[in-house]
Amino acid sequence: MDTFVIEGGARLSGRLQVDGSKNAALPLMAASLLADEELVLRNIPDLSDVRSMKALLGQLGVDQVEAQDGSWKTQVGDPTLCHAQYDVVSTMRASICVLGPLVARRHYARVSMPGGCAFGHRPIDLHLRGLEALGARIRLENGDIIAEADRLKGGTIFMGGPFGSTVTGTANIMSAAVLAEGTTVIESAACEPEIVDLANLLKAMGANIEGAGSPRLVIEGVDSLSGADHSVMPDRIVAGTWAVAAAATNGEIVLDRFPWDSLLAMVDVLKQVGVRVERLDDGPECAREATVRITSERHLRPAVITTQPHPGFPTDLQAQFMTLLCLAEGNSVITEKIYPERFMHVAELARMGGLFTRQGPTVVVQGVKSLIGAPVMASDLRASACLVIAGLAAQGTTTINRVYHLDRGYVRMEERLAQLGASIRRVSNTPASSAAKTNDSAPEIEILTPPTSSAKLVKSDR
């Protein structure tokens, strides 16, 4: 397993383009199951989760060609393959995104049940209830979900759960309803920009969808969908991570393809804490993409952050902001409303000198003068990102183990940061011949032994 070694203290400066969004790309790729014609997706990020989705779609009979320009072309070769097997599903929870398209198009799906999660229980009950409301018959067999239907029938579905709407659940049901007979209303749909991106692709394939980006989706089913050519939206969490890294290092960076309209809640917090965020383009106020300069003089003010479904502050940036608020002058309060247990990074940041008091889903962050480099362990994708930012801002050397978590969601993160002037290098702890394989096949569910007990913990992310 690879490790990052970071010498803290360098001020980030330079220019980066934000890569395509992982969480948009995965359900978009699953939509390739819905049509017989060629689908072209552009701006797909080169990430291990994307490679896992390619492997899964290969198992499901989707032929794939990667073109010179980085675009990804697919066409269904064998529509009889309907089993999403445990070996791939266990590496990535988002594999569940194939369930809706499979049952809608092939009338049968067998998808291994996704497993546990590093930051709490992540059920899929809303996905299954939604498909049942469309007429699918669902049962569990040998750890696999089996969903069957003749043609799905439109229905009214409430997708709100105790922690808000479900993002991949909305993607799944929307992708199934586009081929159902009649009208489907998804009430309390997720409003995340990745859902809008998926709706845009499905519409380009011939689907009738109204209301994408609002809590009510109205879908008029069609008999079949055609191919399409679509560019994946830029990754709002990657953009946010770069912005926080610049802020924490007293830096000044310019980000191209910054998904401005999707990040207003984050931009608002950055401004509150004293980070300068300037638009350098002359696009409209609500531009989907912008060129943005982030500048910080690191006299940071504390903030109160509560994670919420979009357009609220995203849970996927909570950990990164916790690092930033460690460096603020005063006490900040962070409340996690989407995943109340998503605080694996707190103990690691404490090893670097962070001061925290946690009560349930709320953490009080006491600002410190500086963080101090230390060996730390990454536990999930965003927790790892927060440790990288901490390492960049800290005095001394930080080593971060289990870097494969980062390879799931950030394209060659160390190269991007080095390009901005960071002192960061990847050290491979596996023989060169097997290193790539290790990164690609690292399980999302990993077994860790806690230091205080011989019992085993089951961990995964996303």
CB 245 within 8 A of CB 417: yes
- According to DSSP, the residues that pair with 84 across neighbouring strands are 111
Q: Which is nearer to ligand EPU, 60 or 126 (CB)?
A: 126
From the candidates 82, 97, 117, 326, which is the catalytic residue?
Answer: 117
Residue 26 contacts ligand EPU per CB under 6 A? yes
Instruction: Give counts: helices (H), strands (E), the chain.
Output: 15, 28
Span from 34-42, 155-163, 256-264, 427-435 in contact with ligand EPU (CB under 6 A) = 155-163
370 CB-contact burial (10 Å; exposed 0-12 / middle 13-18 / buried 19+): middle
Q: Which is nearer to ligand EPU, 189 or 377 (CB)?
A: 189
Span from 118-126, 296-304, 363-371, 428-436 in contact with ligand EPU (CB under 6 A) = 118-126
Span from 121-129, 218-226, 239-247, 362-370 in contact with ligand EPU (CB under 6 A) = 121-129
Active-site residue, 82 included: no
Binding mask 127-146 for ligand EPU (x = CB under 6 A): x-------------------
The only residue of 86, 108, 163, 356 in contact with ligand EPU, by rule CB under 6 A: 163
The only residue of 70, 123, 143, 283 in contact with ligand EPU, by rule CB under 6 A: 123
Binding mask 309-348 for ligand EPU (x = CB under 6 A): ------xx---------------------xx---------
Residue 392 contacts ligand EPU per CB under 6 A? no
Our measurement of the distance from residue 92's CA atom to the centroid of its chain's CA atoms, rounded to an integer in Å, reads 11
Span from 120-128, 172-180, 228-236, 391-399 in contact with ligand EPU (CB under 6 A) = 120-128
Q: Which residue, chain included where needed, has tokens 């979900």?
A: 145
Backbone angles phi, psi at 31, to 5 degrees: -65, -15
In angstroms, rounded to a whole number, what is the distance separating the alpha carbons of residues 291 and 256? 5
Span from 82-90, 125-133, 145-153, 204-212 in contact with ligand EPU (CB under 6 A) = 125-133
Residue 462 contacts ligand EPU per CB under 6 A? yes
Q: Which is nearer to ligand EPU, 89 or 300 (CB)?
A: 89
> Hey, what are 245's tokens?
């890294």
Query: 144-175 b/e with 16+ CB inside 10 Å = b?
Result: bbbbbbeebbbbebebeeebbbbbbbbbbbbb
In angstroms, rounded to a whole number, what is the distance separating the alpha carbons of residues 92 and 448? 18
CB 89 within 8 A of CB 56: yes
Pick from 115, 122, 123, 116: which is nearest to 87 by CA? 115
The only residue of 6, 10, 19, 23 in contact with ligand EPU, by rule CB under 6 A: 23
Residue 382 contacts ligand EPU per CB under 6 A? yes
Q: Which is nearer to ligand EPU, 150 or 268 (CB)?
A: 268
Pick from 334, 381, 380: which is nearest to 354 by CA? 334
Residues 165-194 binding ligand EPU (CB under 6 A) are: 166-169
In angstroms, rounded to a whole number, what is the distance separating the alpha carbons of residues 340 and 238? 22
Where along the sequence are the contacts to ligand EPU (CB under 6 A)?
Answer: 23, 26, 94, 122-127, 161-164, 166-169, 315-316, 338-339, 381-382, 409, 462
Residues classed as catalytic = 117
